[in-house]
Amino acid sequence: MNCAYVIGHVTVKDSRKWQQYRNQVPATLEPWGAELMFRGKIASVLSGKHEHSDTVVIRFPGIEKVTGWYESPQYQSLIPLREQAADMELLVFEE
């Protein structure tokens, strides 16, 4: 089974709402066997352009788990808060 990774590129618009969102996401990951690997702010861009200030990386035990998590009622209920809190691009990569 190949792992899948969700990578979020984030620009925070409302830090209070972003913190609320961040605090609630881990509970949505647990049923899918996902692990938060990294959260951080960009230090520099060595080549090209990157518009976002923050990045998050989440590892899932397979692509089907990513789909299950993203479509779950628990995560779907957080999307309005996420959209108020930040501009975000979510990408999925598979090993």
Would you list the domain boundaries of the chain? Answer: 4-94
* Mean pLDDT calculated for residue range 80-88: 97
Q: 46: exposed, middle or buried (C-beta count within 10 Å: 0-12, 13-18, 19+)?
A: exposed
Q: Which pLDDT score is estimated for 28?
A: 97
Question: Taking the domain 4-94, which CATH number applies?
Answer: 3.30.70.100
Best CA proximity match to 58, nearest among 85, 87, 25, 17: 25
Read off the pLDDT of residues 13-40 as tens digits, 9 standing for 90 and up: 999 999 999 999 999 999 999 999 999 9
Q: What percent of the chain has pLDDT over 70?
A: 99
What proportions of the chain, in percent to the nearest 5, are helix, strand and coil? Answer: 40, 35, 25
pTM: 0.92
